[in-house]
Amino acid sequence: MAQETAGDRPASAAVLVIGDEILSGRTQDVNTSYIANYLAQIGVDLREARIVPDETEAIVEALNALRARYTYVFTTGGIGPTHDDITADAVARAFDVDIGEDPRAIALLRERFSEGELNPARRRMARIPKGAELIFNAISKAPGFWIGNVIVMAGVPMIMQNMMDVVGPRLAAGPPVLVETIEAYGVSEGAYAAGLEAIARGHDGVSVGSYPSFTSAGFRNQIVLRSRDAALLARATSAAQAMLASLSKENAR
């Protein structure tokens, strides 16, 4: 058995999407999927995501539940200048720390706004919980921040992605999760389910999923195998391909 230390265990993460616009159906959330892909590539396990409305109590409760459980919590949304942008204050409340105008954040905003433009609404974007580090973004200049294990980012996807590029290199990365996808042409899920289960059970350390989608040509099934161990993943993938091939031959008989 391989020696296991805390450092060997992959870091875990949750995403907390904050915004009425997602829950009303107005806006399709694409940030969770982006963060999920980003984290998979640097070997951090995304374990959960939640979407909550622009309400302080809902944000505080979700944040406290998630930050107690995972290595990192990434929030998106609610850090702009309007009255519905309450994330920074909610995060301060969750951590029970003071919040106020941060001179470093004001300095960043001055790169974009003249003194006359820097009105009270825009200055709200400089409200940062005490003890937080700022997360720079090149697009809007209004910073995100990092406090404890919580990383607070913008909701606008381009800005969030910009912030993720700032934060990413500093995360406790592990071996990336490697992925193999097999197209199960002409074999239905129900036909390969037993064989696939046996492969999943026989390859501990490989996560095996089966994903049907419905197209104009009928169902399209994909088998997806994921692991941090390249050799193990290769073995499991070969086994799945062999199992599918034997089923196809059986079907052809």
Which residues in the 129-158 window bind a copy of itself by CB under 8 A?
A: 139-140, 156-158
Q: By CB under 8 A, what part of segment 210-229 binds a copy of itself?
A: 210-214, 219, 224, 226
Instruction: Give min distance, CB of 178 to a copy of itself, in A.
Output: 11
The continuous run of DSSP H or E covering 94 comes out as: helix 87-95
Among 64, 149, 207, 241, binds a copy of itself (CB under 8 A): 207
Q: Which of 155, 133, 123 lies closest to 51 in space, CA to CA?
A: 155
Q: By CB under 8 A, what part of segment 44-83 binds a copy of itself?
A: 46-54, 58, 80-83
The smaller minimum CB distance to a copy of itself, of residues 66 and 147, is found at: 66
Q: By CB under 8 A, what part of segment 234-253 binds a copy of itself?
A: none
Instruction: Bin 43: left if φ > 0, else alpha if -120 < ψ < 50, else beta.
Output: left
**How far, in Å, CA of 216 to CA of 5, rounded?**
49
**Rounded to 5 degrees, what angle do the CA atoms 31, 83, 95 make?**
65
Instruction: Give min distance, CB of 5 to a copy of itself, in A.
Output: 24
The smaller minimum CB distance to a copy of itself, of residues 110 and 122, is found at: 122
Please tell me whether residue 197 binds a copy of itself under the rule CB under 8 A: yes
Q: Which of 185, 209, 211 lies closest to 199 in space, CA to CA?
A: 209
Residue 116: alpha-carbon gap to chain centroid = 38
x-or-dash pattern for a copy of itself, window 11-30, by CB under 8 A? ---------xxxxxxxxxxx
Contacts of 198 (CB under 8 A, 6+ apart): 243
The smaller minimum CB distance to a copy of itself, of residues 38 and 147, is found at: 38
Q: Is the dihedral of CA 214, 215, 218, 220 positive or negative?
A: negative
x-or-dash pattern for a copy of itself, window 96-135, by CB under 8 A? -----------------x---x-xxxx-xx----------
Among 73, 88, 90, 159, binds a copy of itself (CB under 8 A): 159
The smaller minimum CB distance to a copy of itself, of residues 37 and 56, is found at: 37
Tally the residues of the chain.
Answer: 253
The smaller minimum CB distance to a copy of itself, of residues 112 and 133, is found at: 112
The answer to whether 32 touches 47, Cβ cutoff 8 Å, is: no
Contacts of 68 (CB under 8 A, 6+ apart): none
